[in-house]
Structure 1
């Protein structure tokens, strides 16, 4: 991307339009000039269509998209070949049905066809970066804020000095195997670290900044309550508490 203006890292938006609008306003105020969108765009929120449309309105030549596990699941479901790793429960099934009923088929297919990972050779701070959704080998496994025995496996094959990922909805930056920098910008649409504010990160010319942005999370929870389904009430509860 090669620009000195900050790069905004937005992950795990989950159809939460008010959270996305708050993050985009904050990123704009910080001078963001480009965006990395890390997957899981529509499902679990009250605004699946509007969230994708807002992302589509970002400058195409300054926005990089990758696919999340939810984007893959929805595309597979639409194609009649459900993903084997998709949990078979009311929470996931209900959210998937809601998103598929709302989203145009061409949008579902487009998001499902995105690359699973991308290389960012020249972000603003000059630290070459690989971006994935969960880990280097899977969109369903990821890293935790503290070291685990799975770190090396999850980072296998990464040649760049920094790996950006999401999936767990936990915001952190820490050292990884072999000196790799592990960076999780957190979740825009459904933080699960006990902080209800929307989470994202900025890569400045002088380094990374983890940011939190307040928004009307209660309004987003109430919009899910109005959906009137058990899955939506469970996600509303997560938005109110900031954890599962």
Structure 2
């Protein structure tokens, strides 16, 4: 059983809840899809949990890139990226930023963070204009991607199955429960949600980051992007 863990965002309670659920369901392998530490109150602790996993495939997200180079991040993100980098240390930050952007699993499945074209241009639950341009060059039958924090499973007109397991640490679909997915040995995908104390996780972000964390705490609380906070 393969567990798909994307967009943890330093939310240790959510990650612990997901790991317990996945192990109970029979997970023995792990696909780690990027954005491991940035924005949450427990960046180093979350990374420690992930590094303890055996049989794990790692790829890089935009969060790893921004933590390594905060000046490349949008202005509201820069203070959090610097704070996260200080807690991980320069060597770890550089190592995470050097992870591959994509990986191919069992010759039929490709994984990336947002899309094969970009680590910030993602795929949505419903087809959007320009989507095919993000998928050009994919020859596998299934593509696993995250970044939008919106679970999805659908097939394109060209026959490519798209899977987004949702976000472990910061869902954006209005459901604050941690999200991930499992792939059974026969290829069946199952999306799963796990309850945890998301309000306490949001409070921890405020305690750790102060005013610089309010945007991210609000996202954990509301499980959506708040346009008023952008």
**TM-score after normalising by structure 1:** 0.89
Partner of 2:64 in structure 1?
71
- 1:200-232 CA deviation, whole Å, 9 max, x = no partner? 000012400001110111110111121252231
Structure 2 SS opposite 1:205? coil
1-side partners of 2:219 and 2:161: how far apart?
29
- Give the one of 17, 21, 31 matched to 1:22: 17
Match of 1:180 among 153, 160, 175: 160
Q: Any idea what SS the aligned residue of 1:221 has?
A: helix
- Take 1:175 and 1:140, find their aligned partners in 2: how far apart are those partners? 21
CA deviation digits over 1:166-188, x for unaligned, max 9?
01000111112411001000000
Distance 1:104 1:56 in 2: 15
Pick from 113, 121, 126: which aligns with 2:98?
Answer: 113
2:2 pairs with 2, 7, 10, which one? Answer: 7
Distance 2:25 2:42 in 1: 26
1:215 aligned to which of 164, 174, 196: 196
**Whole-Å Cα distance in 2 between the matches of residues 157 and 76 of structure 1?**
29
Alignment of 1:1-244 (within 5 A): 6-59=1-54, 62-77=55-70, 82-83=71-72, 86-87=73-74, 89=75, 91-121=76-106, 128-206=108-186, 207-244=188-225
Q: Is the 8 A contact 2:4 2:30 kept in 1?
A: yes
- TM-score normalised by the chain length of structure 2: 0.94
Residue deviations 1:54-92 (CA, integer Å, cap 9, x gap): 101111xx1000000110122234xxxx43xx21x2x20
Counterparts of 1:231 and 1:153, CA distance in 2 = 35
* C-alpha distance in structure 2 between counterparts of 1:235 and 1:138, whole Å: 23
Moved over 4 A (4+): none
The answer to which of 151-160 and 68-77 deviates more is: 68-77
1:3 aligns to what? none
CA RMSD of aligned residues (A): 1.2
Structure 1, gaps ≥5 residues long: 1-5, 123-127
Indicate conservation of the 8 Å contact 1:95/1:231, yes or no: yes
CA contact (8 A) 1:198 1:214 kept: yes
| CA–CA separation in structure 2 for the residues paired with 1:75 and 1:104 | 10
